């Protein structure tokens, strides 16, 4: 499956939703998008890997590059990932010690969980 990229804003965080395969062929497009986001002023960036079904070393390199770029401008960078195969990749490369990794966009942005039933009565 081809790479898909979509950006939205959640609680003053820029959330980049990534889908498909991130590999040596598609990773340059992810790098370009992340650079564009930082250049356009995004400072708290969350990359949601929820719909990624393949991620290789090139993709990981792009994510580290974004982390460094945001650090340099005083920003933050975190990942959303709940898929065990992808989490294993982060553990094996020790990158789980480099990136903040959250199980959901809500956890990453500090917003209330949605879809968990009706909220408390007013």
Of the two residues 10 and 95, which places its CB atom closer to another protein in the complex?
95
The count of other CB atoms within 10 Å of the CB of residue 109 is 19
What is the rounded distance in angstroms from the CA atom of residue 106 to the CA atom of residue 62? 23
Least distance CB 10 / another protein (angstroms):
25
Backbone angles phi, psi at 44, to 5 degrees: -115, 100
Of the two residues 39 and 113, which places its CB atom closer to another protein in the complex?
39
In the list 19, 50, 54, 76, the residue contacting another protein (rule: CB under 8 A) is: 54
Q: Which two tokens stand for residue 101?
A: 């990794």
Q: In this chain, which stretch among 8-16, 20-28, 33-41, 109-117 interacts with another protein, using CB under 8 A?
A: 20-28
Q: Identify whether the C-beta of residue 44 lies closer than 8 Å to the C-beta of residue 14.
A: yes
Least distance CB 15 / another protein (angstroms):
21
What is the rounded distance in angstroms from the CA atom of residue 40 to the CA atom of residue 26? 22
In the list 30, 42, 60, 101, the residue contacting another protein (rule: CB under 8 A) is: 60
Least distance CB 122 / another protein (angstroms):
45
Q: Which two tokens stand for residue 64?
A: 């580290």
What is the rounded distance in angstroms from the CA atom of residue 17 to the CA atom of residue 88? 20
Of the two residues 51 and 68, which places its CB atom closer to another protein in the complex?
68
Interface with another protein, residue 64, by CB under 8 A: yes
Interface with another protein, residue 19, by CB under 8 A: no
């Amino acid at each position: 499956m081809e790479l898909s990229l979509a950006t939205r804003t959640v609680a003053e965080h820029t959330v980049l939703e990534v889908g498909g395969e991130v590999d040596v062929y598609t990773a340059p497009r992810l790098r370009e998008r992340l650079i564009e986001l930082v250049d356009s002023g995004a400072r708290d960036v969350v990359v949601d890997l929820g719909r990624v079904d393949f991620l290789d070393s090139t993709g990981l390199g792009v994510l580290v590059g974004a982390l460094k770029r945001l650090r340099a401008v005083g920003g933050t960078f975190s990942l959303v990932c709940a898929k065990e195969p992808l989490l294993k990749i982060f553990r094996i490369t020790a990158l789980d010690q480099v990136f903040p990794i959250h199980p959901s966009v809500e956890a990453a942005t500090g917003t209330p969980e949605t879809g968990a039933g009706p909220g408390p009565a007013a």
